[in-house]
Structure 1
Amino acid sequence: MAAVPALQPSLLDLVADPSPEALAGRVERRVLGDGAWVDRCPGWLTGGELFPALVEGVAWRAERRPMYERVVDVPRLLAFYGPGERLPEPGLEAARSELDTYYRPELGEALATAGLCLYRDGRDSVAWHGDTIGRAAKEDTVVAILSLGATRRFLLRPVAGGPSLRLDLAHGDLLVMGGSCQRTWQHAVPKTARAVGPRVSVQFRARGVR
């Protein structure tokens, strides 16, 4: 199992995680153009037990990938739960259930998978990309991101060029990228020189989207 950061006791650890609240009436949508949009719900999941449970309990793995004619370490730890697999904590099952209730009428199908990333500190990051492996290369879809732990900057930029969007995702925030967003926009979590603690990103996707 990959090494994970040791967590110091904090206020996050002292409050149990309730089930996520209903999204209806709380989601703020921003239309990006070209069929793309993002929804945001700050502080959707409150409390702190889920975050340390994931950091310490998930079988995180380190990966290496080819990049620029070299094979390099992926600067974050990963876990993936495919269709039909039980998620590692009941809080994630509850979150996915509420996301399905809210987004299935628009998406037309369930969110079937969960990808988890552990950013151990400010040196961990994800480069500019769109989730275009599989069906999202040609089809509209939804990628819902639940952010837990330390606040990190999340960037979006249009593939065709133009103004970018900067968002600071804090503990419990929900960000949903929808429509053509994976094809017409890219997103990234940049490195930072600031002293930041660990963060877990949970990405809920439809079947066949990565």
Structure 2
Amino acid sequence: MVATDLFGTGLPADADRLRTLDLPGADLRYAACAWPPAQADALRDALLDEIPWAPHVLRIFGRDVPTPRLSCWMGDAGAAYTYSGARFTPTPWTPTVARLRDELHERYGLAFNSVLANLYRDGRDTVGWHSDDEAELGPEPVIASLSFGAPRTFRLRARHTRTPALSIELAHGSLLVMEGATQRLYQHALPRRAGVTAPRINLTFRRITAA
């Protein structure tokens, strides 16, 4: 369903347009309302219900550590992914995630074969500083980050100096696209946030280009 079919509640016709964010050397675009509120609510509920959420266990400094969130690696057959010492074989696409994958291609011209789904159950769930720079993603990965649920702050910092660079409040129904040298130059994180009791779902679509 295209965005122009969904608006009619006072939102501008181009509310789903990706706008470039000012971050030196990076290619970062953001649409705060890629999916309007009623549709975003329905997508959030469907994703909560149909994704097989589970804790991922990563190998960090020689220890097996469960992540402070629930996750699911999903995608085409063969789109395995390795990060933080763990290798994940994709589960099959669920109907809603496949629909969102297709929408990204139809509306924004972005093609993906896999997605990392994360469920932040409340403000205590988090993800630490990192870059999505695994070899399977290629030298300049394109990553589309979809957010549904409680707004959370997404932070970026310079990779080599650790200097804070940008903070974005990722809205319910928003889309953030990271391309070009973004992963090479910057790290990102989602810090804890006191007072948040509602869940947030984040789908980060990717394209695996190497085994």
TM-score of the pair, normalised by structure 2: 0.77
- SS of equivalent to 1:50: helix
Q: Does 1:55 align with 2:60?
A: no
- SS of equivalent to 1:53: helix
Query: What residue number does 1:173 align with?
Result: 174
* 1:154-207 per-position Cα deviation (integer Å, ceiling 9, x unaligned): 111111334421111111010111101112111111112223310100011112
**What is the identity percentage for the equivalent residue pairs of Structure 1 and Structure 2?**
34
2:71 to 78, 82, 100: 78
* 1:13-36 per-position Cα deviation (integer Å, ceiling 9, x unaligned): xxxxxx3527898110124233x2
* 1:135-165 per-position Cα deviation (integer Å, ceiling 9, x unaligned): 44x6112100000011111111111334421
1:158/1:103 CA distance change after superposition, 3 Å = farther
1:81: Cα distance to partner?
A: 1.2
1:87/1:165 CA distance change after superposition, 3 Å = same
1:93 to 95, 98, 101: 98
1:50/1:113 CA distance change after superposition, 3 Å = same
Q: Does 1:21 align with 2:3?
A: yes
Query: What residue number does 2:144 align with?
Result: 144
1:83: Cα distance to partner?
A: 2.0
1:121/1:114 CA distance change after superposition, 3 Å = same
Unaligned ranges ≥5, structure 2: 5-13, 78-90
Structure-2 separation of matches of 1:151 and 1:143 = 19
The letter for the 2-side match of 1:171 is: H
The letter for the 2-side match of 1:116 is: A
Q: Does 1:200 align with 2:201?
A: yes
Structure-2 separation of matches of 1:195 and 1:64 = 24
Unaligned ranges ≥5, structure 1: 1-18, 105-109
* 1:39-95 per-position Cα deviation (integer Å, ceiling 9, x unaligned): 0001111221111111122111112223244332210101111225753234x3343
Query: What residue number does 1:13 align with?
Result: none
Q: How much is the aligned-residue C-alpha RMSD, in angstroms? A: 2.5
Return 195-204 or 65-74, whichever deviates more: 65-74
1:191/1:143 CA distance change after superposition, 3 Å = same
TM-score of the pair, normalised by structure 1: 0.77
- SS of equivalent to 1:39: strand
- SS of equivalent to 1:156: strand
Partners of 1:76 and 1:119 within 8 A in 2: yes
Query: What residue number does 1:183 align with?
Result: 184
Structure-2 separation of matches of 1:39 and 1:76 = 25
Q: Does 1:155 align with 2:155?
A: yes
